[in-house]
Amino acid sequence: MRQGHDTLRPDAPMDIDAARPRSRALTPAALVLLTALWAAIGSPAHAQGGRGRPGGEAEVDVQMAPVAIDGQILFRVRGVSALPGEQRADRIRDRIVALARDPDFQVDALRTVESDLGTAIMAGDQAVTTVVDADARLEGVDRPVLARVVLDRIRQAITEYRRARSPEQLAEAGVYTLVATAVLATAGVLLIWLSRRLDALVERRVQRRIHGLEIQSFELVRAERIRAALGTILRGLRALGLVVLTLVYLHFVLSLYPSTRVIAAHVLDLISDPLRTMSQALVAAIPNLAFLAVLYYVVRVALRLLRLFFDAVARGSVTLSGFEAEWAWPTYKIARLAVVAFAIIVAYPYIPGSESAAFKGVSLFLGVIVSIGSSSAISNIIAGYTMTYRRAFKVGDRVKIGDVLGDVLEMRLQVTHVRTPKNEEVIIPNSLILNGQVVNYSSLAAQRGLILHTAVGIGYEVPWRQVEAMLLMAADRTPGILHDPHPFILQRSLGDFAVTYELNVYCRDAHHMMRLYTALHRNILDVFNEYGVQIMTPAYVGDPEQPKLVAKPLWHAPPAAGGETAGEPENGD
């Protein structure tokens, strides 16, 4: 067997490109090979149901693989189940590279030889590749024409392979590399210099003209944020310019050397492929984006109409039966949330990428995080709306929530702000208010009056009529106490040592209850001292030798002031 022939073994894959033609006669080995090739790729039975090809035939699952050298595709070949197209292309490429590396081989020695298998391209007595009828059918040309084109491409590839690796070409590539490096460095320095000059220009001219956008006294956009945004944009443009220059440099330099041309072909793809993908996705999403834009403006108009309606309800221009005006804005917030939620449900299928698994996974993850982390927040929001419609209190009311006594400053969705008489601001979660007890001192004070009450313990030796008269006298002396309805006395208990009397008086302003209590207690002490009646609260053990009284001359003993209202709180609480 001469050099260039492969020995046929039953367990070895068939390589039609390595077989050298013997003669026009069908030898037993050639007959077996031709039969296998015909059964694999050329039989009519195998072609049924496939795609139509030139010549009226059809192919099924055609696997084409490129034969490429230094990143340049010479031609494509097909494969069979025993020899896939990628393996066949790799073997052909290895043979061409071996011929190119052989300095004694001349490209003119390449020729085509017809055989029973097809048209073989021979390098001496060695077969480089074989063009079969199946290859020609895929290309839509005659087999001899395709073979001639493949032959020319192989000759050109060998010549280019040798020229690219010649010392002269490599030296020229080195010179171009140095020049490109110098150009890159110069362009980078120039870009950085221009960006800094632009920063200085913005700092000197544009910054002086940027002012905070204000509506009355509320500043929407601070000038510092605008300057920071401009600086971020300029830095981003500078970084993008440096990245583009670097990629262009790498593409140019790597394409100069044959061993790196494959890498050079993919350097610019790092930017072009994402841009191409995004542009294609943007074009494909234009109908959906148009629908989302229309939906946005429709929802915006609907929200404006809702706001106008509830604003009229809040002003009293529109009245609804059984609907309080103070419910207008909380109800508007609920209606707005419902409209926005409905709009999101409608818009979701039209959002680009909403059907992707990644989008669904991120949405599910965010939903779980929000549901876990906002359970207390949701409960506070629901409690806030519930309190609004329950009308437990409103802004300005004097209330007692748990142990906190004060005036309601603000009612938010999650918390309520209360100012105590000590001028302390207490922030209470709405869920605690909903689940606890709330005492509202202001809700009935304006219509029926708030009842202030205080208790004293007086001994059994004092007539109860005298005690009640003195308590009513103390109430009459207290400014701010209503005389209609009249104050009244309750005898709460007959204790072991004293009788407990409770004085009840009316007032209109719950915010002055602490001042009224102070004035009322002062007058009670004065009246009982004036009439010589001893107050026995909180406990009684025995009668003292001298009554525990304060003589009238000592009522204003130093450092007490001489006036009747000395020491009263100034804030009215």
Helices (H) and strands (E) counted in the chain, each on its own, are: 17, 17
Burial (Cβ within 10 Å: 0-12, 13-18, ≥19) of residue 71 = middle
pLDDT recorded at residue 31 = 36
Which is higher by pLDDT, 78 or 571?
A: 78
For residues 239 and 334, state if they share a domain: no
For residues 483 and 415, state if they share a domain: no
- Mean pLDDT highest for which of 166-175, 213-222, 481-490? 481-490
| 8 Å CB contact between 191 and 241 | yes
For residues 355 and 405, state if they share a domain: no
Q: CA–CA separation, 505 vs 280, rounded Å?
A: 81
For residues 156 and 34, state if they share a domain: yes
Q: List, in sequence order, every residue forming a beta bridge with 168; answer none if it has no partner.
A: none
Residue 236, CA atoms < 13 Å, CB-side half-sphere: 6
pLDDT at 215 over 50: no
Residue 319, CA atoms < 13 Å, CB-side half-sphere: 3
pLDDT recorded at residue 388 = 66
For residues 349 and 311, state if they share a domain: yes
Last residue of one domain, picked from the residues 230, 263, 284: 284
Q: List, in sequence order, every residue forming a beta bridge with 51; answer none if it has no partner.
A: 59
| 8 Å CB contact between 157 and 73 | no
Q: How far is the CA of 344 from the CAs of 198, 295, 340, 347, 349, in angstroms?
A: 42, 10, 6, 5, 9
Q: CA–CA separation, 405 vs 33, rounded Å?
A: 102
- Mean pLDDT highest for which of 44-58, 205-219, 307-321? 307-321
- Where does the pLDDT of residue 36 fall: very low under 50, low under 70, confident under 90, or very high at 90 and above? very low
Mean pLDDT of the chain: 77
How far from the centroid of its chain's Cα atoms is residue 331's Cα? 28
Give the burial string for 73-102 (b: 16+ CB within 10 Å, else e). ebbebbbbeebebeebbebbbebbeebbee
Q: CA–CA separation, 244 vs 253, rounded Å?
A: 14
Q: Is residue 571 part of a domain?
A: no
Number of domains the chain contains:
5
pLDDT tens digits, 239-275: 888 888 888 888 888 888 877 777 777 777 777 788 7
Segment 23-41 mean pLDDT: 39
For residues 197 and 127, state if they share a domain: no
Q: Is residue 54 part of a domain?
A: yes
- Where does the pLDDT of residue 216 fall: very low under 50, low under 70, confident under 90, or very high at 90 and above? very low
For residues 160 and 172, state if they share a domain: no
Segment 96-118 mean pLDDT: 85
Tell me the three state secondary structure of residue 394: coil
Three-class SS of 313-326:
HHHCCCCCCCCCHH
The residue written with tokens 């906190």 in the block is 404
CB-based contacts of 445, cutoff 8 Å, min separation 6: 507, 508, 509, 510
Q: Is residue 550 part of a domain?
A: yes
Q: CA–CA separation, 270 vs 255, rounded Å?
A: 16
Which is higher by pLDDT, 518 or 445?
A: 518
522-525 — which CB contacts under 8 Å span 24+ positions? 523/473, 523/474, 523/475, 523/477, 523/478, 524/454, 524/456, 524/470, 524/471, 524/474, 525/550
Q: Is residue 15 part of a domain?
A: no
* Residue 33 burial (CB count, 10 A): 20
Burial (Cβ within 10 Å: 0-12, 13-18, ≥19) of residue 198 = middle
For residues 34 and 150, state if they share a domain: yes
Sign of the dihedral defined by the CA atoms of residues 124, 126, 128, 132, in that order: positive
For residues 265 and 350, state if they share a domain: no
pLDDT at 525 over 50: yes
For residues 159 and 44, state if they share a domain: yes
Last residue of one domain, picked from the residues 138, 164, 190: 164
pLDDT tens digits, 275-302: 788 888 888 888 888 999 999 999 999 9
**What would the two tokens of residue 357 be?**
């698994």
Q: CA–CA separation, 483 vs 467, rounded Å?
A: 19
Segment 48-66 mean pLDDT: 51
pLDDT tens digits, 486-502: 999 999 999 888 889 99
Q: Is residue 364 part of a domain?
A: yes
Residue 430 sits in a domain of what CATH number?
Answer: 2.30.30.60
| 8 Å CB contact between 481 and 487 | yes
Q: CA–CA separation, 37 vs 224, rounded Å?
A: 76
Whether this prediction's pTM lies above 0.85 is answered by no
Last residue of one domain, picked from the residues 106, 133, 164: 164
Q: At what angle do helices 223-256 and 269-284 cross, to 10 degrees?
A: 120
Residue 506 sits in a domain of what CATH number?
Answer: 3.30.70.100
The H or E element containing residue 146 is helix 143-164
Q: Is residue 381 part of a domain?
A: no
- Where does the pLDDT of residue 384 fall: very low under 50, low under 70, confident under 90, or very high at 90 and above? low
| 8 Å CB contact between 132 and 117 | yes
**What would the two tokens of residue 436 be?**
């606890």
Q: Is residue 383 part of a domain?
A: no
* Residue 551 burial (CB count, 10 A): 9
Q: Is residue 80 part of a domain?
A: yes
For residues 175 and 91, state if they share a domain: no
The H or E element containing residue 452 is strand 450-458
Query: For residue 527, what are the domain limits?
Result: 450-554
For residues 142 and 204, state if they share a domain: no
